[in-house]
Structure 1
Amino acid sequence: MKPFSSMTMKFANIWFVLVVILLCGKKHFGTRLGNSSHEAHICSGCSRLTLKVEFTSTVVEHEYIVAFNGYFTAKARSKFISSALKSSDIENWRIVPRNNPASDYPSDFEVIQINEKQKDGVLTLEGHPNIKRVTPQRKVFRSLKYSESDPVLHCNETRWTQKWQSSRPLRRASLSLGSGFWHATGRHSSRRLLRAIPRQVAQTLQADVLWQMGYTGAGVRVAVFDTGLSEKHPHFKNVKERTNWTNERTLDDGLGHGTFVAGVIASMRECQGFAPNAELHIFRVFTNNQVSYTSWFLDAFNYAILKKIDVLNLSIGGPDFMDHPFVDK
């Protein structure tokens, strides 16, 4: 990996906390990712600013991901599955069509739909020499909520908490558009949080030192797996490709989260990103309601590998560690 890429990833671990502290001054900032929560209280006598990012996932009924031991054509994959199911009681099954940029290339998985009454015979597939694993298709929900609450702790007191739960209530995306975090404007999404800071966040974290040394991200391919990006967004001049992996017919960002992340990485105007000359490859893997599927990610991962992506930013967490195909990839 190129020098700027590794330095950028180190910066990325701390940029978000510093951004909000700089923006909010004497306010509380808390984050929540997946099944864990983190709260930092900066002062007393002030309101608390909280961003919650939560993830839940559910199994898609009747759908299974068949992972192979290598990359095969669609015809070969279908043949392997048919051969494996001949000795089982499964008759009503079909391969779920996947129409995306990865469809033109060999793949290492297939999605099949099987009648619920016959699902017990699905393990028969794993007896085929070219089939590695069969797992349920999963649907992923990402929820964002930005809010303020009353003060609790004394000045400079910081509390870190981590909670683990077996399940969480399903919640659709919730954003307070007046909070100044990120919001959609229709034509493109703006990053008001970054613009509200007196100094650019990349320079605040001394990325300009690397720029002076010649490390600006030039020649580095960076993939952003998120909610997309507007084609004519004025802050980006080096977007090499935008691809859609969802069931929505758009490449644009209707939420703003993908635009915000892309801006932190490679914005070339106003709030300059860490690697302004990096090549951006936009992968739209979340819908505007922040829904995704394991198969969407797997196809997008394969395409990123094919395109020889150097750095991949993946804004997801929580229950994904239980999803074998996702973790394997």
Structure 2
Amino acid sequence: MTPPLALSLGEPAGIGPEIVARAWAALRDGGPTFVVIGDARLVEAGGAPVAAVFDPAEARSAFPRAVPVIDLPTAVPATPGRPDPANAGCVADWIARAVDLAMDGSAAGVVTAPIAKAPLYAAGFPFPGHTEFIADLTGDLPYDGTRGPVMMLTARDLKVALVTIHTPLAEVPELITADRVIRTARVVHETLRRDFGVARPRLALAGLNPHAGEGGSLGLEEVEVLGPSAAALRAEGIEITDPLAADTLFHEEARAAYDAAICLYHDQALIPVKTIDFWGGVNVTLGLPVVRTSPDHGTGFEIAGKGVARADSLIAAIRLGAEMAARRRGLK
């Protein structure tokens, strides 16, 4: 029987506890089953009954009646909308515990509720975010494939992967190198086959400049880096386009021509995802030895504790995490 997913509770002063409670209410009858790693009091305050468990194996029997929680209390009480760096260590510990459970096979994969970076940084957290932290935690675990991490966002029929992520726009061109583009495309190609069941992935490569550079008249990146990278990938047997104008890459007819788009910077990827499905997008980390998904939104401090937060994205992340984990285990 497939183990449950391990769900780290995220920022204790954010909407994490509320959306976890709502996700459980939506999934309690049919699953997928998850076990929360975090403060049980916060989940209960979010509006759901709680069952304290000590092992993920206990989660399946508890799930229909309550949220199973491996209870790791916060250092100080959490106030909705008011993050406290004193709880940053707890947030990091919840993520690490969830990853440990996935690495030892006790959990099928990891789902992460949103974190707030400012209080983590104030407490000395040395990683840019979830993605890099989880990559570090899993760094010693063997992995059969091209190593990530690569960030992918999914929404309905669109999958976009990023060559650069939280990078100032002025710094993006110098980071668009052949090595980065080729590695990102390899990771996406392998992941589509292994975790999404796509036998022959078709990749689209976005251009950096307007009109994909117009043959070099509007920028040279397409001529000097992106085009040669695409040619090298095709020589490896990966189906990928030459760089395409990003302004015509994401409409419905265009999306039917590829399985995932390789995008070059944050907004190039996230604007179409959030336009197509603002509430239901999912963040997936590719190229790691554990499955990791997350809702595609932040901590929602401005609405935390008000009972209005929507769990659509978290529910989608849980479902996708379970599907990916099942494929890795050969169960789908």
When Rg is computed on C-alpha atoms for both structures, the one with the higher figure is: 1
Q: Whose strand proportion is higher, 1 or 2?
A: 1
Q: Which has the larger helix fraction?
A: 2
Per the normalisation by structure 2, the TM-score is 0.27
